Chains A and B, each alone.
Chain A
Amino acid sequence: MDKSIEIIVNSEKCSGCRTCQFICAFTFHETFALNLARIEIDDRDLYPKITFRDDCINCGTCAKYCVYGALSLKEEVA
């Protein structure tokens, strides 16, 4: 059976801590550079905007490390 990961986004819960960006960049590049992260956070408005780049492989790591509930995982069995 295949499992596909769905990342559920709830921007209203986003605190802007960027842990998702940090862990993404670190997971793939072992460095902390936000422009290497495949998830982007724009915190200039009232609620941060959360977007995923085209090269995001949907591994779900960002959601695993979100403690604020802005990103969570819904694993579905195919």
Chain B
Amino acid sequence: MMEWHGHAGRILEVDLTRNKFDIKKLNEKDVRDFIGGMGLNCKLAADLLKKDLDPFSQENKIIIGAGPLVGTLTPASSRLVGICKFPATGAIANVCGSMSFGMHLKHAGFDHVIISGISEQPVYLKIEDDDLDLCSAEEIWGKDIFETTDHLKKKHGCSGVIAIGRAGENFVKSSLTLIDKTSTFGRGGLGAVMGSKKLKAILVKGSKGITISNPKEFKKLYDKLFQRIRNYSHLKDVHKLGMLRGTPISALLGASGQKAKSKQASERFYLKKLKKRRMACPSCPLGDKDVLEIKEGEFSGLISFTPSIINPFFMLLLKDLETSNQAVKAFDIISRHGLDALTITALLDFCTTLHEKGILTRESTGLEWKRDYQTMVKMIEMIVQRTGFGDVLADGWLRLAREFDDIEKDMPVIKGLDVVFDPRLLRMGTMEFEQVVNPKGAHVASGGSPTYLSPGGSLDKFKMHFYRMGIPESAMDRLYKPPVKEMGIHVGRLTRYSEDWYTVLTSTGVCARAQVNRFYSLELITEFYNAVTGLDVSPETLRLAAERSWNLLRLLNAREGFSRSDDKFPDVWFNELQFGSLQLKLQNFYGGIEITPEIARQMLDDYYDERGWSKENGLPTKDKIRALGLEWFLS
């Protein structure tokens, strides 16, 4: 029998319909081929999720996992991943969160938990080591996420909690969950999937711990990395400013002519008027999460939580949202309900545009549409309650497109999910390009690279990061040959490697955020992985496993009907964006080159080429499938 280290070695299966628990052994071959965490989630999804299932049916399984480094002291190793069929898009999507759930799950003795069925009554799942229970959620059904989480932690002690709010209970298709009141988990409708199962929350409390294969080697690696982090010249700034450091939201607002709001999104304002304290995930020395307190003015005294201050600050880009206090309060309401702040902001903006064009009226929707706090709060309530026009918005972009003629082409949406970063504002780097090709729709997390918010410095410096990310030497030449020479780096081709690097990190359990992953390389992750698990793999094994996982995710979605035709640059990206007095065109991150539809097509062609996928349909070729050992999926 396999002696596991790092991995707990067990998978918990929960059947909500039959109120049954089953514990399965972790499969050794699956671990070798898919690592754990995200990769193994993809394999489990391929095994368990049938084609064309209804996201709200019994058959939709929520698969949650934590990689082999989660629950250890490997710096910043708290990533939790989930996969299921998502209602907002119909895609089988990978989602990622953090905080303490992953650590507790591993310490309770489980690498993954798979939840199927539908409970007869509202319940919460309690996992306390081997004490497993579906407890009545009567007391907490209808409560918001913060109240629910506080109630459960008071009752059961320190634990990891994933909870939904009223949005999830009412099947709002864009609703998500929060882990420990803070980390968003499940963009695209995990909240609604849990709500459809009458699953209010999942609580896990683990005391068994995790063993390490080679403690001495681990300690050596840990101390060396810890010293590098401790000596990092910007460490104090990271602790002080969190994600605000290096995110030019204040400058963006200033550039758009909104000077008063620019001051309110400044570092000084954040430190003096909003920041209460820093929060970090277990094992993370580069914590960036916030406890906020509105210290004066409107809503003063409000205490709230955010995975990053830039989440509420980006809402300030809404023209008539007047103050940071309003943004923080709005974000608090959104969080408590379990709504997606990005979707809510994008919907308000788009609906106001439709109102300005006379397509939405006060009579037809019950709202006088403005991009302000008051309208946002009313819209939120309509969505959560599914009243009137709120019912349409609760079903998301795909339904909104069906309700009105000819508006779909103007939507800032890809595969039914709203765009996170408008590349006209931030230029087209890999994060922005990722939104086009990500199987789940417009999402950015897997697209990290040095192009992110790069001001266009020396491109030679990028090579150091490329090696760190595990990009093979054979690819370097192609990365420096973009469709137009002045673009510097080929963003399309580079995105393939961003995705693979993200998958290595998310499958082992390490955070992919820039301030963390800059300390890691494929080699270092492999060293930690080997010291923890004792499995003695090469960096190439991990890299290949990541590539295999990403290809499997693509195949899962091909089976659901997705292909190149869904990897679309939104039409609006090729129109100029009016930003204050500025007219912004779609440009490459470097070189000031405008991205025309022809260049965009070339970038996409080359992305597929770099992936070894067909340019015709954007899917893995038979050769690629064979090379990755994924023929079993086709049968």
Partner of A32, one of B71, B154, B276: B71
Q: Cα distance A11–B282 when bound, in Å?
A: 16
Q: Identify B283's interface contact among A19, A41, A43, A46, CB under 8 A.
A: A19
- Chain B residues positioned under 8 Å from A13 (CB to CB): 277-278
Closest CB-CB distance, B282 to chain A, in whole Å?
5
Residue of B nearest to A66 (CB): B285
Residue-wise interface mask of B (207-242) relative to A, using a CB-CB cutoff of 8 A (1 in contact, 0 not): 111111001000100000010011000010001000
Q: Are A44 and B284 in contact (CB under 8 A)?
A: no
Known A-B contacts A15-B280, A31-B210; A67 and B285 likewise in contact (beta carbons under 8 Å) = yes
- Whether, in the assembled complex, A63 has its beta carbon less than 8 Å from a beta carbon of chain B, the answer is no
Q: With an 8 A cutoff between CB atoms, is B72 at the interface?
A: yes
Q: What residues of chain A lie closer than 8 Å to B100, measured between beta carbons?
A: 43
Question: Known: A18-B282, A26-B219. Is A43-B158 also a contact (CB below 8 A)?
Answer: yes
State which residues 16-34 of A face B: CB under 8 Å: 16-19, 22-23, 25-26, 30-34
CB <8 Å contact, B73 and A67:
no
Q: Which of A12, A22, A44, A46 contacts B73 (CB 8 A)?
A: A22
Q: Does A75 contact B (CB under 8 A)?
A: no
Q: Which residues of B contact A36 (CB under 8 A)?
A: 209
Q: Does chain A have a CB within 8 A of B439?
A: no
Q: Which residues of B contact A33 (CB under 8 A)?
A: 107, 207-210
* Chain A CB within 8 A of B442 CB: no
The answer to whether A68 and B209 have CB atoms under 8 Å apart is: no
B291: Cβ under 8 A from any A Cβ? yes
**CA–CA, A17 to B279, complex, Å?**
8
Interface of B is mostly: mixed
Q: With the chains together, A44 CA to B235 CA distance in Å?
A: 26
Residues of A within 8 A of B229 (CB): 67
Q: Are A15 and B287 in contact (CB under 8 A)?
A: yes
Q: In the assembled complex, how far is the CB of residue A59 from the closest CB belonging to chain B, in whole angstroms?
A: 15
The docked-state distance in angstroms from the alpha carbon of A23 to that of B154 is 26
B281 at the interface (CB under 8 A from A): yes
**Pair A32/B210 contact, Cβ less than 8 Å:** yes
> With an 8 A cutoff between CB atoms, is B351 at the interface?
no
**B295: Cβ under 8 A from any A Cβ:** no
How distant is A21 from chain B, measured CB to nearest CB, in Å? 9
CB-defined contacts of B158 to chain A, threshold 8 Å:
41-44
Residues of A with C-beta under 8 A to B210 = 31-33
B283 engages A22 (CB within 8 Å): yes
Q: How far is the CB of B66 from the nearest CB of chain A, in Å?
A: 13
Q: Which residues of B contact A32 (CB under 8 A)?
A: 71-73, 107, 209-212
> In the assembly, what is the distance between CA of A17 and CA of B209, in Å?
16
B471 to chain A, nearest CB (A): 30
A47 within 8 A of B: yes
* Interface residues, chain B, with chain A CB atoms under 8 Å away: 71-73, 100, 103, 107, 150, 153-154, 158, 207-212, 215, 219, 226, 229-230, 235, 239, 276-285, 287, 291, 303
7 pairs of A and B residues whose beta carbons are closest in the complex = A33-B209, A15-B280, A17-B280, A30-B215, A22-B73, A15-B287, A67-B285
> A18-B103, A41-B158 are known contacts; what are 19 more A-B pairs with Cβ within 8 Å?
A15-B284, A17-B280, A17-B282, A17-B285, A19-B73, A22-B282, A23-B73, A26-B73, A26-B215, A30-B215, A32-B211, A33-B210, A34-B207, A34-B209, A35-B207, A44-B150, A46-B291, A67-B230, A68-B287
Q: List 5 A-B contacts (CB under 8 A).
A: A23-B73, A33-B208, A35-B209, A41-B158, A67-B229
